[in-house]
Amino acid sequence: MKKSEIIFLIVVVISTTILFFLPTGYENPDLTKDMRYEKSKVLTVDNSGLRQISIVITGVQEVTLKIESGKFKGQIVSAQNHLLGQKNIDKLFKPGERAMTILQLNDEHNQIIGARAAEYYRQDLELLLFICFGGFLILFARYVGLKAILSFIFTALSFWKLLIPAFLNGYNPLLVSLSIVFICTLVIVLLVGGVNRKGGVALLGTMSGITITAILALTFGHFFHIPGTVQEFSEALLYTGYTYLDLSTIFISVIFISAAGAVMDVAMDISAAQHELISHTPNMARFTLMKSGLNIASPVIGSMTTTLLFAYSGSFMFAFMAFMAKGTPLENIVNKNYIAAEILHTLVGSFGLVLVAPLTAIIGAYVYTWTRKTSTLKY
């Protein structure tokens, strides 16, 4: 590693550590003052309090739990699981399963006075999945994989500790989003690509593509007339008291945030390919290098555009199935708010991919040949 890369790596590690301990400003100690959130094992269930009408189940499921974490580990408690008839949030526990249990404590916090089985306990599985992901990444990419994990953690913390609190505080969503995305892009590209010309070209190409995507999202988002409340949980924010939030602009910001990863992939692919070409053919003409970058970009753009279509349409598969089952006309489907929002999402992101490719190829052609003397420069 170069000295500059070591310094940059140290800066990122320190920044990630600071972000980890940085408060969001929205911590609520009152939620845990008289309650504890613990892992429990389901011992027995009593479904006699449930009522089923067709496929809808409502009522209260009585559950016996054994606490497996925290101060009250080993204790057996009776808890309730309330079913509201909403398939997206209801859960029906079975013996042997793990539950995230909310324990209500007395004033001295030394005795359980009530319990509720709130959710399936998934934290262990989520941690295991992340460890497996990180292990395979390090196994195949080795040191680059280790830096990729660091950039992954940095980006996740940046979103949770900086981006979301800034949205809630009412700061300009576009400026905040662009700033955070640019910072994360800087860290990811320079960590993975290196503090060199390859990383620099990928960084410049990515930032150019994200800027164009943001402009397109802002422009077409205005004419599409899509309200910010099209996003899930948006109305819950308003009812909680955050009526001052500009949800429509936040929705526009989400469009180019979602496309940033794919834009970065294309820019890095082209930059890395041009770097290899110029490394093996140092005297390659600038125009030839540019043309090669554009030729490399063509299949990358095609596959990445389809990738966005898969990613965005996949989340709405059940909606499409429901429309088809009812025989809803296509004209009605594509004009609905949430479907039009996904169309805007997909096309604007794909537009950004199409434009980032030639931009990165042009930037790379100039950057990789910049150090040549003017008298020997080939075009």
Q: Is position 16 within any domain?
A: no
**Pairing state of beta strands 50-53 and 76-84?**
unpaired
pLDDT band for position 120 (cuts 50, 70, 90): very high
Helix (H), strand (E), coil (C) string for 130-160: HHHHHHHHHHHHCHHHHHHHHHHHHHHHHHH
Beta bridge partners of 66: 41, 76
> 3-class SS at 90?
coil
**Same domain, yes or no: 116 and 160:** no
Q: Is position 179 within any domain?
A: yes
Domain that holds residue 65: 33-121
- pLDDT score of 55: 85
**Same domain, yes or no: 233 and 318:** yes
**Same domain, yes or no: 332 and 263:** yes
CA 345 vs. chain centroid, Å, equals 15
Q: Is position 22 within any domain?
A: no
Domain boundary among 65, 96, 121: 121
* CA-closest candidate to residue 364, choices 309, 293, 300: 293
**Same domain, yes or no: 47 and 171:** no
User: Does 375 score more than 50 pLDDT?
Assistant: no
Q: Is position 55 within any domain?
A: yes
User: Does 373 score more than 70 pLDDT?
Assistant: no
Q: Is position 278 within any domain?
A: yes
- The enclosing H or E element of 65 equals strand 56-67
**Same domain, yes or no: 82 and 179:** no
For the record, the structure tokens of 235 come out as 């109305």
CATH number at residue 103: 2.40.50
**Same domain, yes or no: 199 and 337:** yes
- pLDDT score of 322: 87
User: Does 46 score more than 90 pLDDT?
Assistant: yes
pLDDT band for position 48 (cuts 50, 70, 90): very high
From the number of C-beta atoms within 10 Å of its C-beta (0-12, 13-18, 19+), residue 147 rates as buried
Q: Please, are residues 67 and 77 in contact by the beta-carbon 8 Å criterion? A: yes
The number of C-alpha atoms within 13 Å of 339 and in the hemisphere containing its C-beta is 14
Left if phi > 0, otherwise alpha if psi is -120 to 50, otherwise beta: which for 116?
A: beta
For the record, the structure tokens of 54 come out as 């067709």
**Same domain, yes or no: 186 and 113:** no
Segment 284-327, tens digit of pLDDT: 888 899 888 888 888 877 777 777 777 777 777 888 888 889 88
- pLDDT score of 42: 95
Give the count of domains, the chain.
2
Segment 4-24, tens digit of pLDDT: 888 999 999 999 999 999 999
Count other Cβ atoms within 10 Å, centred on residue 93.
20
The residue-averaged pLDDT of 68-75 equals 92
Show the DSSP H helices in 23-113 as ranges.
30-33
Q: Is position 7 within any domain?
A: no
The residue-averaged pLDDT of 164-183 equals 93
